[in-house]
Amino acid sequence: MITWIIISIFTLITGMIIIINIKNRNSRIKKEQKEDIMKFLYKKSKENQKVNFESLQLFSKIKTNKLTKILEEMLKERKIKYDEDNIKLTLDGEKEAKEIIQKHRRIEKYLFEETSIDFEEIHDVAEKQEHNEEIKINTKNTYECIDPHGDIITGQETSSYPLLKIIKDIKNIEQIYKITHIEDEPKEIYKKIVCLDLSPFDYIKIKNISSNSITLLTDKGKIIELDYITAGNIFVNKEENEEITKMFEEIEKNITRITTLNELKLKEKGKIIALSFYIRGEERRRLMELGFIKGSLIEPIYNNMLGKDPRVYKIKNTMIALREEQARKIYVIRLN
Amino acid sequence: MNFQEILEKVEKYRIQYNNTLKDKIIEGMHQQIDEILQDTIEYKQSNDILTKIENYIDYFITSRIGGIFVLISLLSLILWITITGANYISEFLSNIFASIEVFLRNSSNLLRIPPTISSFLIDGIYKSLSMVVSVMLPPMAIFFPLFTFLEDLGLLPRIALNMDKLFKMVGAHGNQALTMMVGFGCNAAGVISTRIIKSPKERLIAIITNNFMPCNGRWPLLIMISTLFLAPLISESLNPFLGSLIAALALVASVIIGLFFTLIVSLGISKSLKSIPSFYILEIPPYRKPNLLRIIYTSIIDRTVFVLMRAIYMAIPAGAFVWFLNYFNLSTPIINFLTPFGKMFGLDGVIILSYIIALPANELVIPSLLMLYTNAKNFIDIEEFKSIYQILSTYGNWDWKIALSVMLFSILHNPCTTTILTIYKETKSIKWTAIATLLPLSIAFTVLFILNNLILKHL
Amino acid sequence: MDCQNCKIIKNIKNFTKIDYTIALVGNPNVGKSTLFNFLTGMNVKVGNWPGKTVTKIEGFFEFKVNQEKFVFKIIDLPGVYSIFSFTPEEEITRNFLFLGSYNIAIIILDATNLEKSLVLAFQVFEVTNKVILALNLVDEAKRKGIIIDVEKLQEKLKVPIIPIIAQTGYNVDNLIYKALSIIKGEIKVNPNKYTPPPELEKIIQDIQKEITEYYPEIKNHPFLRWIILRILEGDKIIIEMIKNKNLKTVEEKIKNKPILPIL
């Protein structure tokens, strides 16, 4: 009897909490949908493409009657206008869309610099958090303007072209390029690029172009074979600096000895040549303070009880344990 | 030029240097230091034996067999020293408290204080206070210095290194192993020690799961029940050697059960929360000669006294509460009210009520169990295991099934109020404090429900 | 310059006023707490830094020179590798060294690992001139075959260095004696500052020009160059302070930081 009373009170309270949550959730989802629509319209207008109801629905995957309702509301708020069948942003709407995109980039920047969120997840988290009103990132005071994809948060876009373009011209072999931007959608390809440790500001040298792939050498001594789809997501600029050319000559000379830290055997000495772009924020700072900088000598000295991960390295007279995925992002040259 | 333009200029430089401006600053610093050190420091080949021994020890600890050996032998050694040593001090303290009690009774008689008030002060407040101090202080006063000794020696980072893979698999931080070891002494201290984990999510995991390590407030119960009810299952006669062996094994088993649930809950939390994982850079310090003064200072001031004071604050109201309950004969209706609920999980009303009374400190469970079964007016001392066995089996109808349920409940149930308070102080969030309290409790009830209704019923 | 009639009195209880304040700075595991405990004995105050879950430890001791007596307050700052304020510990240390009130900062160097200690020391030199270096673990370094030319190092860093062994308390009285003479101004300390690579120096000069134009009062700030370096690194707190032309608003700025704790 008493048990039943307790259970029924409990259910009642839970039910009420759920109802309140659902109500809040609905209004939040609506706002997110509106903002996504504005972003979509802004992107399409930059690409000079027209958007009508059908293409919008295809993008947003909202049911017809719901979408009509949302669009009506947006029309009332004067954020969009109809141009015959096409839907366009008003000036107000465009301004807001720009702000959302800037906020997105700035959140990405923040996540990249100050947290250790998985790199592949940064875009998704930013996509969600850009709608969060509690996060107020002042759009006027920019401290740092480059986002993790190499984009400039405010101001003009840089002129660069996809790696794919140069494939057509066979003369480009042995030419050096600098990566300026990496597209973060679709996610699978982006993940692949991150996994290959290609990043903005990297220099690459084209080694070979075949009918379905392109081989290149990075400035960290890695030889990478890219398929055409992946290459289409990497944007580059020609680089004609003598220093860089010399650097590549040096790398090519030592190519067999260059490896990543996790590949070193126990008691095998190495010299650090670079840290990956994807070691960032506090982690990068801490590693550099501990002496993980270009030119430092390093030696793996102990494994652990359960295996090779994490491993203890000796650097500058200190013993530091690193996990394998970190060691993979540190490039070393073997010393004989 | 306004400020915005200056920042834009900085930004241009940053792009010009391929975003490596920050790296350049610290690289420059290292270069300068290298230059300074070049002709001021000299490294000689040293044939120092100590250094060689240290290297061999490190090699041994990080090897598979050596690592496991060191881990298990250290754990059992610390447990053994703590259990054995605590008994003596505990006895010594309760003797002192008993003589003070006699003195208090005499003086209250002399001063003609009304018996109700003197009973409230002495039987209610003073007894619960002395009980908590004499039971809680000795294990802490032994365990924490031992632990700090290992910490000072530089051994703990090596153990954390060895355990990291397990925690990495469930998305937690390797240092959680260290906080669990502290939690083994006291969960509240364990929660404070999670400060060594920097990222909020991993720290939260460590805070919430710390409770699954049985703190030494729970050891007496686990040892007692396993000796009284589980040991006879193996052997009828209770010779002392076998008894202590069973006690040790029961504690180790509890640690393993606790570790198992720690890993599962860690996995659950890390999967359900998307947050900021931290990086793993663990410095392995060189071995150092432990400093006795520092050991005593850190373990006594920083940990023992800190935790004990909070426990004392909690024990006073609890003592008063039990006294009222018994004085006005309120315990029977409450027990009757709770019994059907307890029966669902293989427990009974008395056990549930004792755990409610023991919210302030887990040490209060045994005395309140005995007191409620015998309906005594105050906490009684644990005299002899035999009589406790009689009390529990005759008044409470305990068998090994109930004993097993109580043990599991003891390992998995909610943290004590001291720990809850600490969790709130550390997280500053009511939500996470509530989760840290209710999650273990609901896990405990779920496990017991499944165990009793699906398994034990058919045995 | 050994001090013959010096004496450290720990565990002091009754004192009316604190003469000087010492801040202890150092990496983790260099014997910072050992030195702290050696100086203060058991008379310590343990609390939290305001608004942070970082333990704050303070202690007191008395120092006797000839007939004079001085009461010192000693603050054990959290062990850090740098003061670039990523973690709460670093932020506390940085803010205290930059804006806190103390008479001298003792930086503890690890003789067995001088490089790592000096990275922190150089950063501290950037924010304060009130420093003295204590070279700890000299016995262990000797054992490991590391020979340090203290005189030469002292010359190069332009900061007094006192070799000590915190474990046994060897030479600690000399350290305090030296610190006392720096506090009294008998010894002037002007640490050798960080000299960035030439290409970086150019950028620093340029930005420094712009900043002094924007905020002229900062021109004579002793640590202007450090502020410029921080701006180059994108330190939001310093940038905010310069933007508001106010170097005191340290506490407020933390709120401007977007915080995404648990998503």
Cβ-defined contact of A312 to B18 (cutoff 8 Å): no
Whether A243 and A300 map to the same domain: the answer is no
Supply φ then ψ for residue B233, to 5 degrees.
Answer: -65, -30
Whether chain A has a CB inside 8 Å of the CB on C197: the answer is: no
Tell whether A97 is covered by a domain: yes
- For residue C249, what pLDDT band results from cuts at 50, 70 and 90? low
Question: For all residues of chain A together, what is the average pLDDT?
Answer: 79
User: Which residues of chain A have a CB within 8 Å of the CB of B64?
Assistant: 305-306
Per the structure, the count of domains in chain B is 1
Supply φ then ψ for residue B43, to 5 degrees.
Answer: -100, 120
User: Which residues of chain C have a CB within 8 Å of the CB of B426?
Assistant: 53
Cβ-defined contact of C143 to B24 (cutoff 8 Å): no
Is residue C256's pLDDT more than 50? no
Tell whether B36 is covered by a domain: no
User: Which candidate in B25, B178, B193 is best for mutational testing of the C interface (most C CBs within 10 A)?
Assistant: B25
> Beta strands A234-238 and A161-162: pairing type?
antiparallel
Average pLDDT of the segment spanning B47-64: 85
Whether chain C has a CB inside 8 Å of the CB on B279: the answer is: no
Touching subunits of B (3+ CB pairs, under 8 Å) are A, C
Q: Using H for helix, E for strand and C for coil, what is the string for chain C?
A: CCCCCEEEECCCCCCCCCCEEEEEEECCCCCHHHHHHHHHCCCEEEEECCCCCCEEEEEEEEEEECCEEEEEEEEECCCCCCCCCCCHHHHHHHHHHHHCCCCEEEEEEEHHHHHHHHHHHHHHHHHCCCEEEEEECHHHHHHCCEEECHHHHHHHHCCCEEECECCCCECHHHHHHHHHHHHCCCCCCCCCCCCCCHHHHHHHHHHHHHHHHHCHHHHHCCCHHHHHHHHHHCCHHHHHHHHCCCCCCHHHHHHHCCCCCEC
3-state secondary structure of B227: helix
Average pLDDT of the segment spanning C127-146: 87
User: Which candidate in A117, A133, A143, A292 is best for mutational testing of the C interface (most C CBs within 10 A)?
Assistant: A143
pLDDT digits (tens, 9 = 90+) for A130-147: 666 655 554 444 444 556
Whether A41 and A112 map to the same domain: the answer is yes
Nearest to B432 by CA among A128, C261, A9: C261
User: Which residues of chain A have a CB within 8 Å of the CB of C236?
Assistant: 143
- For residue A153, what pLDDT band results from cuts at 50, 70 and 90? low
For residue B253, the model assigns a pLDDT of 82
- For residue A37, what pLDDT band results from cuts at 50, 70 and 90? confident
User: Which candidate in B31, B165, B344 is best for mutational testing of the A interface (most A CBs within 10 A)?
Assistant: B165
Supply φ then ψ for residue A225, to 5 degrees.
Answer: -110, 120
Cβ-defined contact of A282 to C86 (cutoff 8 Å): yes
Is residue B55's pLDDT more than 90? no
pLDDT digits (tens, 9 = 90+) for A202-244: 888 888 888 888 888 888 888 888 888 888 888 888 877 888 8
pLDDT digits (tens, 9 = 90+) for C59-100: 888 888 887 888 888 888 888 888 876 677 887 888 888 777
What's the rounded Cα separation, in Å, for the pair B72 and A71?
A: 66
Question: For all residues of chain C together, what is the average pLDDT?
Answer: 80
Q: Which of B27, B168, B285 sits opposite A294 (nearest CB)?
A: B27
Tell whether A12 is covered by a domain: no
Is residue C263's pLDDT more than 50? no
Cβ-defined contact of C113 to A281 (cutoff 8 Å): no
Nearest CA in chain C to B43: C146
pLDDT digits (tens, 9 = 90+) for C170-217: 888 888 888 888 888 888 888 888 888 888 888 888 888 888 888 887
Per the structure, the count of domains in chain A is 3
Whether chain A has a CB inside 8 Å of the CB on C112: the answer is: yes
For residue C254, the model assigns a pLDDT of 42
Is residue C144's pLDDT more than 50? yes
Provide the CATH number for the domain around residue A292: 2.30.30.90
For residue B241, the model assigns a pLDDT of 62
Classify residue C66 as left (phi > 0), alpha (psi -120 to 50) or beta. Answer: left
Domain boundary among A228, A253, A278: A253
Is residue B291's pLDDT more than 60? yes
Query: A68, A54 in Cβ contact below 8 A?
Result: no
Q: For chain A, how many residues are written?
A: 336
What's the rounded Cα separation, in Å, for the pair A293 and C238?
A: 26
Which residue in this structure is represented by tokens 């300068």? B32
Q: Euclidean distance between the first and final Cα of chain B, in Å?
A: 85
Domain boundary among A253, A280, A307: A253
Lowest mean pLDDT among A14-28, A297-311, B59-73: A14-28
Touching subunits of C (3+ CB pairs, under 8 Å) are A, B
Tell whether A117 is covered by a domain: yes
pLDDT digits (tens, 9 = 90+) for B241-283: 666 666 677 777 888 889 899 999 999 888 877 655 567 888 8
What's the rounded Cα separation, in Å, for the pair B365 and B134?
A: 15
Which residue in this structure is represented by tokens 């940038």? C239
Q: Which residues form the domain of B402?
A: 65-458
Element (H, E) at A69: helix A64-76
Nearest-CA distance A143 → chain C (Å) = 6
Element (H, E) at A258: strand A258-260
Tell whether B430 is covered by a domain: yes
What's the rounded Cα separation, in Å, for the pair B245 and A56?
A: 72
What's the rounded Cα separation, in Å, for the pair A308 and B68?
A: 16
Element (H, E) at A21: helix A2-46
Nearest-CA distance A144 → chain C (Å) = 7
Which residue in this structure is represented by tokens 């206008």? A81
- For residue A299, what pLDDT band results from cuts at 50, 70 and 90? very high
Give the contacts of C87 (CB within 8 A, at least 6 positions apart).
A282, B198, C80
For residue A156, the model assigns a pLDDT of 46
For residue B277, the model assigns a pLDDT of 59
Tell whether B5 is covered by a domain: no
Cβ-defined contact of C118 to B37 (cutoff 8 Å): yes
Cβ-defined contact of C152 to B195 (cutoff 8 Å): no
Q: Which residues form the domain of A288?
A: 255-334
Q: Which of A3, A116, A146 sits opposite B277 (nearest CB)?
A: A116
Tell whether A51 is covered by a domain: yes
Structure tokens at A35: 């903002």
Query: B144, B319 in Cβ contact below 8 A?
Result: no
Query: B379, B368 in Cβ contact below 8 A?
Result: yes
Is residue A76's pLDDT more than 60? yes
User: Which candidate in C52, C53, C58 is best for mutational testing of the B interface (most B CBs within 10 A)?
Assistant: C53
- For residue C163, what pLDDT band results from cuts at 50, 70 and 90? very high
Is residue C258's pLDDT more than 50? no
What's the rounded Cα separation, in Å, for the pair A202 and A194?
A: 12
Whether A172 and A264 map to the same domain: the answer is no
Nearest CA in chain A to B343: A3
Nearest-CA distance C69 → chain B (Å) = 26
Whether chain C has a CB inside 8 Å of the CB on B290: the answer is: no
Return the bridge partners of C133, or none.
C107, C161
Tell whether B176 is covered by a domain: yes
Nearest CA in chain C to A281: C86
Whether chain A has a CB inside 8 Å of the CB on C42: the answer is: no
Nearest to B210 by CA among B184, B249, B174: B184
Single-letter residue type at A248: F
Is residue C108's pLDDT more than 90? yes
Structure tokens at B294: 């520092």
User: Which residues of chain C have a CB within 8 Å of the CB of B275?
Assistant: 260-263
Cβ-defined contact of A117 to B162 (cutoff 8 Å): no
What's the rounded Cα separation, in Å, for the pair B278 and B201?
A: 8
Tell whether B72 is covered by a domain: yes
Tell whether A16 is covered by a domain: no
User: Which residues of chain A have a CB within 8 Å of the CB of B163?
Assistant: 305-306
Tell whether B447 is covered by a domain: yes
Nearest CA in chain A to B22: A285
Nearest to B214 by CA among B368, B450, B430, B444: B444
Query: C121, C84 in Cβ contact below 8 A?
Result: no
Structure ipTM over 0.95, yes or no? no
For residue A181, the model assigns a pLDDT of 80
Is residue A155's pLDDT more than 50? no
- For residue A38, what pLDDT band results from cuts at 50, 70 and 90? confident
For residue C257, the model assigns a pLDDT of 40
User: Which residues of chain C have a CB within 8 Å of the CB of A134?
Assistant: none
- For residue C259, what pLDDT band results from cuts at 50, 70 and 90? very low
Q: Which of B68, B168, B279 sits opposite A283 (nearest CB)?
A: B279
User: Which residues of chain B have a CB within 8 Å of the CB of A307?
Assistant: 165
pLDDT digits (tens, 9 = 90+) for B302-321: 667 776 776 777 778 777 87
For residue A333, the model assigns a pLDDT of 92
Tell whether B436 is covered by a domain: yes
Tell whether A152 is covered by a domain: no
User: Which residues of chain B have a CB within 8 Å of the CB of A3?
Assistant: 340-341
Whether A116 and A34 map to the same domain: the answer is yes
Whether A60 and A121 map to the same domain: the answer is yes
Nearest CA in chain B to C209: B6
Return the bridge partners of A334, or none.
A270
Single-letter residue type at A134: E
Whether A235 and A322 map to the same domain: the answer is no
Whether A224 and A313 map to the same domain: the answer is no
Whether chain C has a CB inside 8 Å of the CB on B310: the answer is: no
User: Which residues of chain B have a CB within 8 Å of the CB of A123?
Assistant: none
Nearest CA in chain A to B284: A319
